[in-house]
Amino acid sequence: MRILVTGGAGFIGSNLTRLLVAGGHVVTVVDKLTYAGNLSSLADLQGKPGFTFVQADICDAEAMRRTFASAQPEAVMHLAAESHVDRSIDGPGEFIATNVTGTFQLLQAALGHWRQLSGSPRDAFRFLHVSTDEVFGSLGPTAPAFNESTPYDPHSPYSASKASSDHLARAWMDTYGLPVVVTNCSNNYGPYQFPEKLIPVVILKCLRGEAIPVYGKGENIRDWLYVDDHARALLAAVEKGVPGRTYCIGGDNERRNIDLVKLLCSLLDEFRPRADGKPHDSAITYVTDRPGHDLRYAIDARRARAELGWAPQEDFQSGFRKTVRWYLDNPAWIQGILDGSYRLERLGKI
């Protein structure tokens, strides 16, 4: 397929793009290259047949129109989003602009493109809107996991902006007929994740011998999904998903934050022990919890398993071992972010 991927220079987007190109798809990546967009995450794809990169803002209606006209996609996989909760608390405006206005502009461009199609290309076209389980709010310790019927209850500017974008995507399906599929995923982890999220933060703090910050008592629970498993689910949603339906994607891997941090520390004790002989978890420090910190997320992915034929391949340990190993084996990628040089790699806008 010819596939347009927004946010393809980000964490999930770059891993997804790599999967698509390896599978023979023709991929056009659109990315604004904000602080979290990193061309180094796509370095191995530069110059390969079937891969094109466009630096553009999804809020720019004319740029999106030109991109659709050039790429002529058979599917859109919309991942471009501001996604860090702490940043949304400090500066919500960027989240409203990208996640709400940007999604609106992209839906409009996709609708114009789709309306020009006819016959089987029109019937086969899909707009995949990729969202998060955070739109559902917080679960109690023993409450049933989120599923496709869970009411929305967002608690942060980030989750509220994503909830808004979900509603827009469904409205463009119901009002205009645009064939939209929505996915809501649990916390992703794996290679190329920007080092502001929990897992890369812990790894980098351990490598530097610094204090490892854990919010509150570390009792918040998340379901962890390895990014390659998520990418396979997204492709399955485009290929097999029913327009108008939502699919919850989870790793079946719930962990308390403190238990995850200790697991990562134990892996680093194995792979990269401290020079002083102390265990890495001796550096754990508890810090003031952030406002509106949801207690627990969990995903019931039975619909995705049944209708998409998908299941996660990584288990409770394997994905975390791969992730720690990747960060240890790719110091140049990490250093490029830490020293800011990755931001010098920019292409001209269309």
What pLDDT was estimated at residue 51?
A: 98
Under 8 Å between Cβ of 322 and 190: yes
- Quick one: tokens of 145? 């996991």
Catalytically annotated residue among 57, 158, 226, 228: 158
pLDDT at 316: 82
DSSP-derived 3-state class of residue 264: helix
CATH number of 2-193+225-253+293-317: 3.40.50.720
The CA–CA distances, whole Å, from 187 to 160, 199, 227, 278 equal 17, 11, 9, 30
pLDDT in the model for residue 44: 95
Closest CA to 1 of 146, 114, 126: 126
Compute the distance between CA of residue 274 and CA of residue 206 in angstroms, rounded to an integer: 8
Nearest alpha-carbon partner for 261 in 211, 216, 329, 203: 203
How confident is the model at residue 348, as a pLDDT?
35
Selected catalytic residue, list 134, 223, 252, 254: 134
Q: Which two tokens stand for residue 113?
A: 């493109």
Q: What is the pLDDT of residue 350?
A: 30
Mean pLDDT for each 10-residue chunk of the chain (350 residues)? 97 98 98 91 94 97 98 98 90 96 98 98 98 96 96 96 98 98 97 90 95 95 97 98 98 96 98 96 94 92 98 94 97 86 54
Task: Evaluate whether 99 touches 79 at the Cβ level (below 8 Å).
Answer: no
pLDDT value for 194 = 87
Q: Which helix (H) or strand (E) holds 123?
A: helix 119-124
Global pTM value: 0.94
Per the annotation, the verdict on 133 as an active-site residue is yes
Per-residue pLDDT at 347: 41
Q: What is the pLDDT of residue 338?
A: 80
Q: Give the three-class secondary structure for 254.
A: strand
Per-residue pLDDT at 84: 84
Catalytic residue from among 133, 228, 294, 300 = 133
Q: Which residues partner with 247 through β-bridges?
A: 183
Amino acid at residue number 220:
N
Provide the token pair at 228. 């390659």
Contacts of 98 (CB under 8 A, 6+ apart): 32, 58, 59, 80, 81, 82, 161
| CB of 108 closer than 8 Å to CB of 67 | no
Check if 134 is active-site. yes
Of the candidates 172, 309, 175, 169, the one whose C-alpha atom is nearest the C-alpha of residue 246 is 169
Phi/psi for 26 (5° steps) reads -95, 115
Widest pairwise Cα distance in the chain: 68
What pLDDT is attached to residue 196?
80
Which of 259, 260, 281 has the alpha carbon at shortest distance from 270? 281
The answer to whether 297 is a known catalytic residue is no
Question: Which DSSP state fits 343?
Answer: G
pLDDT at 342: 79
